[in-house]
Structures are given as structure tokens and as C-alpha cells.
Amino acid sequence: MEPIEALERIAFLLERADAPVHRIRAFRNAAAVLSALPPAERERRAAAGRYTDLKGIGATTGTVLADVSAGRAPGYLADLEAGSGGPLAQGGAALRAALRGDCHLHSDWSDGGSPIEAMALAARAAGHNWAVLTDHSPRLRIAHGLTADRLRRQLDAVADLNTRLAPFRLLTGIECDILPDGSLDQEDDLLDRLDVVVGSVHSELRMPAPAYTRRLLAAVGNPLVDVLGHCTGRLIGSRERPESGFDAAEVFAACAAGGTAVEINSSPQRLDPPRRLLALARDAGALFAIDSDAHAPGQLDWQAYGCARAEEAGIPAGRIITTWTADDLLGWTRTRQVPADPGT
């Protein structure tokens, strides 16, 4: 294993395990420091096993690098592989194998921690044929949401990247805030240019249920919205936040009627919708998107949680748009016509 490879693998596993950001950043930063060195300098340091005099490489990352340089397996990496390198969830393996892409991931253009290219390369390494870049819309200032001008610049960046990553395709998208009246937080003509729009609520989550229902109905009834993201807005675990109240049967029926997919958000902080609502959406006839909501490369593996939950709910692969080819997905976003034999 090469030194940079070891650092990046550790960072990936820490992201996968949802470790504290400062720990992940230490390894990502150390990898960046080494990557910036001329090849001859990297070789010299590998031969000497000396790294900690470089700014950005501390005792822990330096020990990992010294181990690799000496031909030893880093103990830090071995412990991570033993503790968090195995399967994340019980069940869902067949669905995970059927996935072609991911409709919800973030980069450092909004609140993600990695560049667009790093996220795309990680999606490709995970076995995907495509992924959708869905950074936040401008209203979510805490997440550095994209203004219209910044989103236009991002479209150019994605187009350039795709010339280098083919046949993998990074599709253009956004996680667009659903505003309190159900309208969308971005210009309609710009949303219409995107491949996939995920509509999500991030504010005023405690609205009265009738008003919240109207808010979601307006959004899923908008032909620009392709996926309803993390519909209840709940958080679980240490950052617990209760579900927003709304008439789920009415909203899921509207999703099924209009062809808006219901997201199965795989983030372990969300796992949204809850099981009872997942069954309700299934029975309503809705389509689904199993998404990671990844903000770092290692978090792309979180789709395993969504696959296990979809399998448990008895949702067939053909109704999951993330099992479809990119061409089938794009045909559906334009026409809302479900492909005759999706996923083949």
C-alpha cells in the first residue's frame, strides 16, 4: 500500500463510521500534503520514513506513514478495518448489488467535506455507473448553499469533469429547499436545466400538520421536483429531532400520482422515512430513491442501510430509481414515464 493510499483509506473508513470531523480531516489533510510534494521528494521521505517535520502531518498520521514506509501494515488501519470495514447492515445485499447510482450527495461547494471530483471518484469506486451532485440551494446559508451564479459555474465544472471520467457520469442536480409555501428555493429555468432535483425541507419543521401537508403537496406536485428528500426531517441518535407532522397517506399518494420518488435516506442520522411510513409509501405505489446523503466519500457506503430497509419493506428493485441506468433515469425525469424494463 502506498502512503497516500493508506491515509485515504483511513479517512474513508472514518467517514463511513461517522467519526468526528477533526479526526477525518487530519488524514485527508495529511494526504493532501503528501500529494502536493514532488514525486522525488515523496520517494525520499518514504525511504527515510520521515514525515512529521511536514506541516499538516502529526504524530498519528506520521506513525501510519512510517509503518507503510517500513513495509508494515499500519496498526491504526488494521484496527479500523476490523471494527468498521465490514458490512454496515444485515440484509439488502441483493439490492445493493443492483444499485447503479445515488441521487443525493454533497461536495465542498456547499456543506460537504470533499471536492466534486473526489466524490465522483468514490461513487465510481463504489461500483456506480452514475451519481447526482446535489449541493444545497441558497436559502440554507449555514450550508453555503449555491446561488444561481455559483450553480451555473458548478454546471460547467461538472461538464468538464465528465469528459475525464467517462463512461461514469456525474449528473447535475441540487438539494433544493422547499420553502414554507411549498415553492422552491432556486430559479425555475435553472432547475429545469438540471438532471435531478431533490426537494427537501430544512426550516420551519414544526409547522402545524395541515400547513406542512400543503407545503409538501405543493412541492411534489411541481414537475421540477424529482425526489422528495428525507420527508419527515427527523434526526436520530445523539442529534435527535422529532418527525414533522403531515398527512403521509395524502403526500405519498400525490407522489405516486405525479411520479415523484420518495427518498429512502440512508444517513444513519436520519434513516428517513421511518418503517411505518416506508410501508405506507410502498402501498401507495410510489417510486423510491435509495440515497446516501453523503457529505464525504466514505459516507457513500451508507446506501447499505437504505438497501436493508427497502428489502425489509418488500420494495421491488424496479421501483427504485437508483437501480436504473442513467439513460432510464434521465428519460423518466423528462417525461415521468417509467421504463418498461428498468435496471436492464
pLDDT at position 256 is: 98
Alpha-carbon gap, residue 292 to 289, rounded angstroms:
10
pLDDT at position 118 is: 96
- What digits encode the pLDDT tens for the residues 257-279? 999 999 999 999 999 999 999 99
Strands 169-177 and 196-200: parallel
pLDDT at position 49 is: 87
pLDDT at position 83 is: 86
Alpha-carbon gap, residue 122 to 31, rounded angstroms:
16
Cβ atoms 34, 66 nearer than 8 A = no
The tally of CA atoms less than 13 A away on the side-chain side of residue 267 is: 22
Given a cut of 70, the residues of the chain with pLDDT beneath it are: 343-344
> Which of the four CATH numbers 3.30.499.10, 3.20.20.140, 3.30.70.2740, 3.40.309.10 does domain 93-335 have?
3.20.20.140
DSSP letters, 142-182, are GGTPPPHHHHHHHHHHHHHHHHHHTTSEEEEEEEEEB-TTS
Write the CA distances from 337 to 36, 190, 252, 330, integer angstroms: 48, 22, 18, 10
Closest to 66 measured CA to CA, from 81, 51, 80: 51
CA 275 to chain CA centroid, Å, is: 21
Alpha-carbon gap, residue 190 to 77, rounded angstroms:
44
pLDDT at position 343 is: 64
Residue 166, strand partner residues: none
In the numeric block, which cell numbers belong to residue 240? 435527535
pLDDT at position 87 is: 84
- What digits encode the pLDDT tens for the residues 212-254? 999 999 999 999 999 999 999 999 988 899 999 999 999 999 9
In the numeric block, which cell numbers belong to residue 280? 405506507
What are the residue ranges spanned by the domains of the chain?
Answer: 3-84, 93-335
CATH number for region 3-84: 1.10.150
Give the CA angle between residues 143, 302, 220 to the nearest 5°.
60
Burial class (CB in 10 A: 0-12, 13-18, 19+), 175: buried
- pTM for this predicted structure: 0.94
